[in-house]
Structure 1
Amino acid sequence: MINLNNIREQLQNENSNLSDLSKGLVRDFYLRLTNPNQLTKISMENWEKEFIFIYGDIDNNFSSNKKIKPTELAQTYSIDVSENELDVFSLFYSIQTYFSLFIRILSYKLLSDIKETDEKVTNENIHVFMDSILSGSYFERIGIKNYCYDDWFCWFLEDSDENMEHNVLELLRELDNYNTISEFKEFSIAHNNDNIKQMYEIIIPGQLRHALGEYYTPDWLATYTINNAVNIDKEINNNNRKTFLDPTCGSGTFIFKTIQILRSKNKNITLSEITSSVKGFDVNPIAVLTAKTNYIISIIDLINKDTVVYLPIYNYDVVNTPMLIDGNTLRIDLPQNIYDISLDLFEGNFDILTASMLEYASKDHNLESDYSKILNKLFSGTDEKIKSIIIYALVNRIEAYKQKKFDIVIGNPPWVNWEYLPKEYREKSQHLWIEYGIFGMKGRDLSFSKEDISVLITYAVIDKFLKDNGHLAFVIGQGLFKSAKNGIGFRRFEVGYEYYIGVKRVDDLSFVKPFENAINNTAVVFIQKNHKTVYPVPYYIWKKKSTKNSGLKTYADLDDILDKVNIKELIAFPSEENNELSSWISIPTNTEETIKNVLGSNDYRARTGVFTGGANAVYWLEVEDLLENGNVKVTNLIERAKRKVKKVHAEVERDLIYPIVKGSDISRWKVKSSSYLLCPHTSETKMIPIKEEIMEEKYPLTLNYLTQFKEDLDARKGFAGWEKEIQKENFHAILRVGEYTFSKYKVVWRYIASEFITAVMSTTDDEYLNEKQLMPNEKVMYISTENEKEAYYLCGMLSSHPIAFSVKSYMNPTSISTHVLEKLNIMSYDANDARHNTIASLCKEGHFVEKDSEKEKILMQINNIVADIYEIDEAQMQIIEDELSS
């Protein structure tokens, strides 16, 4: 048997023969697509429709903003084109075509020895061989049903040449070198993880996968999720025989691991028991083929020469599912077309329907005339080759549609914001958000832009595919629980207005970052159908025991991962007492009463610092010199800007130049500044900049400086909605500016931070500008005030441990937005309250001491006063201290 580990390693080795052959075939396919025949054009057009339906706008996905480097990609495959000439879309089609061919050949290699069908493939019969494995006829013949059919990746069969076929033959011969395993047991031990997924990640370049948002679940996380789902279900439902569905199965990691777990628990489980118990869907045809290959690998030792096995993985969209119209017409919506299939003649029997369609798809079908007439009408005008591909897609939809509901649903649905979904997909699924009642409470359109498609998939799958009292276990975004803006509809935990769904447990992996090269905050949720969520919910926080390693290894064993982390049990509940849709807080079990005193509301408003709209390279400056005429000589800072502009040296008036404070400039009770901002607004003009005619009169040098960047400023994307009108009329405008921007005092904190640290900032005596207001950038959140004592009182309150503990319980692990303030019960500053004035005095004193130990002593005094305000006793304060230090 072939050793998939060795194949994976050689694919990754850029100097290996296997790697060269792979890249060579991709190049062959790409070059052929530059001059395709008519059938290839049709295949590519149809593939493009599916691509757009799955991934959205092509230009957006493959733009340079997605870090696509065309020249680098071309060099990878020795394609001799310039950056502007490379068709990244055609290249992606070529790569997917190769991957589709490659894993079909792998499956052939895995099965041919078992089935005793290893054929001698030569230059003379290579085309016939390719046809048999691409069309699936070989697999059907040996008893592996529903492995593959004609699809959009078979185009090169009708558009190949001698060189291309020779290279396929060389690939086939190369893979013969990896027949190094002689026993099934050795194969199972060597292939404990999802090797096919790893091959996909090697063959599909990372920059393409990440541009499309493709991140695959680590094997250990899939195992953990499945184990807990089974254990939770077992506590409630005593039926030992469970059925499992992964509705967005991707490469099949959850399928692969589920079968492993079932087989480890029941050594005598049969092949038919596995295939009737573990099934998967995915909207992406490449993912479906990959998952089927993994299915074969997981059961290969149960297959012998005479085995017939049906692989229960289907190309299916769990959101846009078939609809039964008037009881006798099945409407199936494919990216290519909408098909209405009359069921009358088939007596409503889906098995007869699919059998008839498959027979009709064969080249020399012998279908009954009545059935044939219906299908002739359905596919009238469709090319014969294209017709078979459409039929197989329809059969997949029907087979999935007729599945009975499952005991346990598992998986990792895609995390894509509603606003980034393909337009067509949004339009077709919008009604479901309403029907399930998962749009936000502040207006439907607003909530749609904030919600994630994983929300809709979760609710749709529970409704359509999960048995009553069954369990769902999904890897999803942690923000669905913790974000004030996102997840509002998700947190209803009610499907439509018909029945409840109960959250049984949440695991929060935000601090361990399980996905390589992804910054998303991850959680695992366990839900039971037809049960109401009861608060508090068990909430488990994962943290690494050591901070030396930045992440956890994707292909480590679960036991190794669990040895490297601490999992702490907390409780979670909505942060607002009378609002179950509010974001959750998570705290130790013995602090629930304490935190309730700190939570509440206040009269203060936090704001975001000044935002240039994507033109930091224009507005961020270095002041080089103060000139005798009172103006300053400046240079724009382009080095760290995302959008580059030309570097200039200019003389400008200093009136509109301010020292700027970035998030990294803030530490506890201390603020610094190392660069400057040009702000062409005033406290009087607020969000509208100073008019050009006034600029011309009062600040002509500044206007001249800005005008030379007019084209760059007009092209900024940071202005949205009504702000675009301001940009149109005032090319030099910036954002997040109001009277509050120029307040004398601001209590500030970092937006990008894992700890809530505050400071007061005001004016500074600048060497070039004299006394000037410090200006916060967009990564700084702040509260503005004109009252010095109020500023230090607020800073002291926000610095205190009771507040810090409360904020930690609901903040995002890596960012602290303005919303953090909204949940806190902070009394407005009262000049007649001695406690308020003492906090202000202590906090101000803390701003003028340098040693951390001295600051800590002052903070302890503030803590005692704040504890008194919130009526927190010593024992509770000690728990708070312990939690903050952990």
Structure 2
Amino acid sequence: MTEQEREKRIHEWAQRLYAQLQDCLPSCLNEADLRNRIDPLLDKFCVQIGLNPMAHAEYSLATGRADAVFNRLVIEYERPGVLKPTLTDRATQHAVEQVKRYMEGIAKKDRHAVERLAGVAFDGKHLIFVRSSNGSWAVEPPVAVNEQTLARFLRWLSGLASGIALTPENLNRDFALEQSRTQNILHSLYHALNTALEQPDGLVSKLFEQWQLFFSQAIDYSEAFGGRKLEPLQKWVRRAGIEIKSQHEAERFFFALHTYFALLVKLLAWQALSRHLGGKISAPIFSQLLAAEGEQLRERLQHMEDGAVFRTFGILNLLEGDFFAWYLHAWNSTLENALRAIIRRLDEYDPATLSILPEETRDLFKKLYHYLLPREVRHNLGEYYTPDWLAQRLLNQMDNALFDPHTPEPKLRQKLIETRWLDPACGSGTFLVLLIARMQALARPLMLSETELLEAILQNVVGFDINPLAVLTARVNYLLAIADLLEHRRREVSIPVYLADSVLMPAIGRDLFVQNCYLFPTAVGVLMVPRTLCTPQHFDRFCDLLEECLRREMEPDAFLHHASNLGVSLSEDDHKQLRQLYKQLLELHRKGLNGLWARLLKNNFAPITVGAFDYIVGNPPWVNWEHLPDRYRENTKDLWSHYQLAGQFKGGRPRLGTVKVDLSALMTYVVMDKLLKRDGKLGFVITQSLLKTAAGAGFRRFKLPDHTPLKVVLVDDMVALNPFEGASNRTAVIILQKGRDTRYPIPYTLWRKVKGEKFTYDSTLDEVKAATRRLNLYAEPVDPHDPTSQWLTARPKAIHALRKVLGQSAYKAHEGVNTGGANGVYWVEQVMTRPDGLIVVRNLTEGAKRKVDEVTEPVEPHLLYPLLRGRDVQRWRAEPSAWIIVPQNPHEPSTAYPEVQLQKDYPRTYGYLKRFEKILRERSGYKQILSKREEEFYGLMDIDHYTFTEWKVVWREQSSLMTAAVVGAYEGKLVIPDHKLMLIDCASEEEAHYLCALLNSSIVALKVLAYAVSIQMDPHILERLRIPRFDPQNPVHRRLAELSARAHQIVSQWDGKSARSEDAETVPIPKEIDLEAILPRLKPEDAAKLLEVVNAYQRAQTELQTIEQAIDEAAAQVWGLTDAELREIQQSLKELSASPDEEETSA
């Protein structure tokens, strides 16, 4: 049965049901009477559409196929008049609970997921639709029985007889790489592409170049798949019989893969429109593709690809500016057969799911893309799709009134019609679809007609993206979201999702001859458009005219004649530029390179023609400046300076590239400047580092170039949640308002996981809230005189206390020695000492980033030093576990020994380094730094006099809390910390212990947590930390040194994991030990010994806690903190540093 036939029968039977109800309701005394009059009609309807109704003592039940939209539909009859128009009525609530119980019982008995069941409560006067979705019940308000609501009820019933439900799980099952049909299509597309690209001037080559041009703005394939990053992709694509050997071949494969994904999306869109509109208008039906073969199939697909199919349905721009129709120009029988297998399987799907279960399809393509690509490959591409719950949270924060789940106020009606939203990096359309869903939910209570609602959505919900595949996916998601409204349209529909760059908008030419034109670079040259035409009123009409004239191959004079009728006053120069543009495109058209450029033009200019917005939301690309593709970095260089995001050298020159600025910062400022109305709000998912690092200073200026202020409304810090699937991104949400001043402190919500609770990428917002707790903190600049300084985030009283700690430090921290990526050369272990004094060493190659041969050689002992690595340092303890070759003179450590001197004095060490010369010269640090200041190929970086002091305080860079420890000489030699450790050089052991005590205090710990990026304990943590110089005459300073020395003794003795008795025997001490279970199994003497060791260990831990409390109290004296302020700091630290296992379960 076709969709049109089924829809016709649904309407016929809805009329019959309604007539029967009108006739029987006056005489129906109870639910049994009603059921006896209605069930026979439903039985006949079920038989007609291929269902088998099943009688049941308590309810009526119909069953369907396993992968249909629903497997079971429960119908709960009630006495006529029992159900009331509101869900708050007691009898109505009872009926709903009955339906839920029946559904849960059937699900348990038949081992079905309750989400695959549906229920309806029915009393002849009202209907209540009940479903389970994402772990919670979705109960719709009661609706009055009429022909329309009965038709919906029958549509739910017909969902049991549907084809395969259009869900991400079913699509993944049928179209992921494991399926032979997918392997065949990818293999066919990849080889057809390689063959077509052998003709460099052909259409396929030009489309591929233009795709590269657009994608190069988002993805650098040499970066994404360079070196070892290529391996997971190679392993994955071998399953499709494809071998990839370079990033260039990877780029071709992704063009083929995107083509396949785009085909699925387009075909599903065609199928959905056939379902919704095919029976109402004369349009090509999707199922007609099944009968087509050879050239006829190619022609029908051509009609789809050029948008003709969708224009027949009244959708003007679903497909335009599309690079992925190239396969029609590389057609062969292998490709045709692979395509036919895809079409055959898709024909078995039923888009009825879109109407019946809208929540199943809102992220349909996002999930499909997730399933299609392995996580590691997606992450190499920088593709992190926003979870729906995170997008929903952001939208709720943007406009509480609009997203309030309670009954909306009538005053919202005008707001719904007039408020404009933009997602400038819309991806697959997550934010757009959620917005559309909310507008649809509000429409009925606000008395908005379907026509008014459709117009409001199309006018007010807009998206941009520079990824052609994302734009196509977002458009189709958008289309599916409004599919039920399309029959109510007054005009043809353009989906307002554009292939456009929100950052690098079309620019005015600088040259004298093109200064009144916008420039648009393409793979076939730069296209120039007169500025006069680039307005919201005229540009779309101009592009449509351009495309129409090209299609008819009109001469330039005819085109100019029609252009003069656009209602724009064109100058002589405008006519010249238009003539040049048209001739340029006409030549391409006549060469067969047609049908694309005018549409791309329309899309690219969207940011300057679509008008301004009340709200801008989204998840902009998180790409660091240094990882941007070269071309894009160069093209955006002036923008970074214009918005003062580049940072400044002392002389005032921009220092872009010397600080780690992020593209999300630039997009924030550009779209607020160009596209946001005054008093409008922007809500972005950004990297928290923009708020917490020096590189974000320009972002924290919160002022546009014309001095328009930007107000920070609030921040959600979700770093601890890691909301992006499989990625440890530092996620934050920020909301800004244009035209208002930022006033500190700012509400800053810190999200933390709750012990024992879990959530996933697919969880709902309510589920995430239940699994987390939120700390209501505040944020303000650490320097009250510099509003661009990093933020301090804590409770208000704690911030007040920390102000006493802030200031200038008497000490400076440094990074440890950096080998420049050649640890496997310089890091060694001692094998033996020879009688002649030479030491035989073996280089440590395990875990080295650069592949290095393992060698064992003798070297002189003079340049061999104990190496302290991150793993060797814990709080109150540092002990080297390896050695490092340091070819620098301790008296002039910033440069390496001259090569001649090294050959004379240390020939064995020189010989060892010489065998690695090629690797050492290829180090990025050598190329960029060392080679410019010295000739020696073996020099080290980040090394100076401070490296060669005997006493140092060190701590790990990567740590959630401070791990300071004192280190002195080891085996009679100075210890060299590596670059993952930070160090402060000290004049004496006592000074080092004083400094270590302060750094390990709760006061510094809170300052670091509140100020720095918590896992980056780099040298900057000493900035703005007022540590006074050690004074041996100061009793508080000496007391701190003594306490630190004792803490080191305790930790050294017990090592946190083992206990050392006086005879140096090591006894393992587990973190948790069940003495009651272990002691009875031991001999009495062994049990006594173990008990003695455990008790001693516990006493030591208690003493250490006492020492650390004493350190806090002494440190408070150093900084002039009161007892109450110290308690506030300790409590805030406990709250902020709690791990998920320590979190309380109350939110």
TM-score (norm 1): 0.93
Q: Name the CA distance, whole Å, in 2 between partners of 1:837 and 1:85.
A: 60
1:819 to 1020, 1026, 1029: 1020
Q: How does 1:154-233 map onto structure 2 within 5 Å?
A: 154-179=325-350, 182=352, 184-191=354-361, 193-231=362-400
- Deviation for aligned residue 1:690: 1.5
Q: Residues 222 and 247 of structure 2 are in contact (CA less than 8 Å); yes or no, is this contact kept in structure 1?
A: no
Alignment of structure 1 residues 550-699 onto 2, 5 Å: 552-699=759-906
Measure, in 1, the Cα distance between the counterparts of 2:426 and 2:371: 19
Distance, in Å, in 2 between the alignment partners of 1:301 and 1:673 is 69
The secondary structure found in structure 2 opposite 1:334 is strand
Corresponding residue of 1:781: 982
Change (3 A) 1:85 1:791: closer
SS at match of 2:883: strand
2:580 is aligned with 1:331: no
Q: Report 1:501-516 matches (<5 A).
A: 501-516=710-725
> Residue 288 and residue 84 in structure 1: after superposition, are their counterparts in 2 closer, same or farther (change >3 A)?
closer
Taking a change above 3 Å as real, the CA distance of residues 234 and 187 of structure 1, as seen in their structure-2 partners, is: closer
Please state if 1:130 is matched with 2:301: yes
| 3-state secondary structure, aligned to 1:581 | coil
Range that drifts further, 747-756 or 867-876 = 867-876
**Aligned in 2, Cα 1:574/1:84: closer, same or farther, shift over 3 Å?**
closer
Aligned residues: 872
Structure 1 361/814 Cα, relative in aligned 2: closer, same or farther at 3 Å?
Answer: farther
Tell me the SS of whatever aligns to 2:848.
coil
Residues 474 and 524 in structure 1, CA contact (< 8 A), matched pair in contact too: yes
Partner amino acid, structure 1, of 2:1130: E
Preserved CA contact (<8 Å) 1:620 1:677: yes
User: Offset of 1:84 from its aligned partner?
Assistant: 6.1
* Alignment deviations for residues 595-628 of structure 1 (CA, whole Å, 9 cap, x no partner): 1001111121100011111111111111111222
Equivalence for 1:872: 1121
Query: 1:342 maps to which residue?
Result: 530
Aligned-pair CA distance for 1:329: 4.3
CA spacing shift, 1:589–1:12, aligned 2, 3 Å: farther
Shift of 1:775: 1.4
Q: What amino acid maps onto 1:407 in structure 2?
A: D
Q: Judging changes above 3 Å, is the alpha-carbon distance between structure 1 residues 713 and 547 closer, same or farther for their aligned structure 2 residues?
A: farther
| CA gap 1:682/1:755 in 2 versus in 1, 3 angstroms | same
Task: State the SS of the aligned residue for 1:72.
Answer: helix
Matched residue type, 1:164: L
Checking the alignment, whether the CA contact within 8 Å between 1:631 and 1:653 is kept in structure 2 is: yes
CA 265–17 in structure 1, closer or farther in 2 if over 3 Å, else same: farther
Work out the CA distance in 2 between the residues paired with 1:293 and 1:647: 55
For residue 1132 of structure 2, what is the aligned residue in structure 1?
883
**Partner of residue 686 from structure 2, selected from 446, 451, 476:** 476
Residue correspondence of structure 1 range 134-533 to structure 2 within 5 A? 134-149=305-320, 151-179=322-350, 182=352, 184-191=354-361, 193-231=362-400, 240-241=415-416, 242-267=419-444, 269=448, 270-304=453-487, 308-323=492-507, 329-336=516-523, 337-342=525-530, 349-362=538-551, 370-371=561-562, 374=579, 376-379=582-585, 381-384=587-590, 385-442=592-649, 443-450=652-659, 451-484=661-694, 486-533=695-742
SS at structure 1 position matched to 2:1017: coil
Q: 1:115-171 CA distances to partner (integer Å, 9 max, x unpaired)? A: 224242221421112101111111111111210125322112122112212221221
Unaligned 5+ segments in structure 1 are: 766-770
Q: CA RMSD in A?
A: 2.7
Larger radius of gyration: 2
Counterpart of 2:216? 52
Unaligned runs of 5+ in 2: 1-162, 279-283, 405-410, 564-577, 1052-1099, 1136-1147
Q: Residue 743 of structure 1 aligns with which residue?
A: 949
Kept after mapping to 2: 8 A contact 1:18/1:174: no
Offset at 1:734? Answer: 1.4
Output the CA distance in 2 between the equivalents of 1:513 and 1:820: 24
Pick closer, same or farther for the CA change 1:801–1:342 going to 2, 3 Å: closer
Distance 1:846 1:221 in 2: 44
1:717 Cα deviation (Å)? 1.4
Counterpart amino acid of residue 424 in structure 1: R
Which amino acid in 1 is paired with 2:748? Answer: Y
CA distance in 2, matches of 1:664, 1:371: 74
SS in 1 for 2:711: strand
- Quote the Cα distance in structure 1 between the aligned partners of 2:245 and 2:742: 54
3-state SS of paired residue (1:381) = helix
How much does 1:365 deviate?
7.0
The equivalences for 1:18-29 within 5 A come to 18-29=181-192
Shift of residue 66, structure 1, vs aligned partner: 3.5
Specify the code of the residue in structure 2 equivalent to 1:220: W
Aligned to 1:120: 288
User: 2:345 is paired with a residue of what secondary structure?
Assistant: helix
In the alignment, structure 1 residue 713 sits paired with structure 2 residue 920: yes
Q: CA deviation at 1:23?
A: 3.5
Residues 662-709 of structure 1: CA distance to partner in whole angstroms, max 9, x if unpaired? 112211111122221111113213121122222222211111111111
SS of corresponding position for 1:138: helix
The CA deviation at 1:266 is 3.5
Q: Give the aligned residue type for 1:751.
A: E
CA contact (8 A) 2:185 2:339 kept: no
Q: Is the 8 A contact 1:652 1:701 kept in 2?
A: yes
Q: Distance in 1 between matches of 2:497 and 2:1029?
A: 60
State the distance in 1 between where 2:174 and 2:1043 align: 63
8 Å CA contact retained: 2:798, 2:1132? no
Relative to structure 2, which stretch is displaced further, 524-533 or 152-161? Answer: 152-161
> For residues 188 and 277 of structure 1, what CA distance do their matches in structure 2 show?
21
Letter in 1 for 2:776: E
Following the alignment from structure 2 to structure 1, what is the Cα–Cα distance between the partners of residues 895 and 757? 48
Aligned to 2:1054: none
Q: Give the deviation of 1:397 after TM superposition.
A: 2.6
> What's the counterpart of residue 939 of structure 2?
733
1:829 aligns to 2:1030 (yes or no): yes
User: How far apart, CA to CA, are the structure 2 residues paired with 1:166 and 1:885?
Assistant: 64
The superposition leaves residues 403-459 of structure 1 with CA deviations (integer Å, 9 ceiling, x where unpaired) of 121110000111112233233323333222333333324354424542211111101
Partner of 2:1092: none
Conservation of the 8 A alpha-carbon contact between 2:952 and 2:983: yes
Counterpart contact for 1:328–1:344, Cα < 8 Å: no
Change (3 A) 1:50 1:707: same
| Conserved 8 A contact 1:10-1:18 | no
2: CA distance between counterparts of 1:878 and 1:764?
39
Deviation at 1:250, TM superposition (A): 1.3
Partner Cα distance (2:252, 2:692) in 1: 41
In structure 2, how many angstroms separate the alpha carbons of the residues matched to 1:132 and 1:556? 40
Residue identity (%) = 30
Partner of 1:861: 1110
| Cα distance change on mapping 1:11 and 1:228 into 2, 3 Å | farther
Give distance in 1, aligned partners of 2:725 and 2:207.
34
1:139 partner letter: F
State the alpha-carbon separation in 2 of the partners of residues 220 and 436 from structure 1.
32
Match of 1:768 in 2: none
Partner of 2:54: none
SS in 2 for 1:824: coil
Cα distance change of structure 1 residues 65 and 530 upon mapping to structure 2, 3 Å threshold: farther
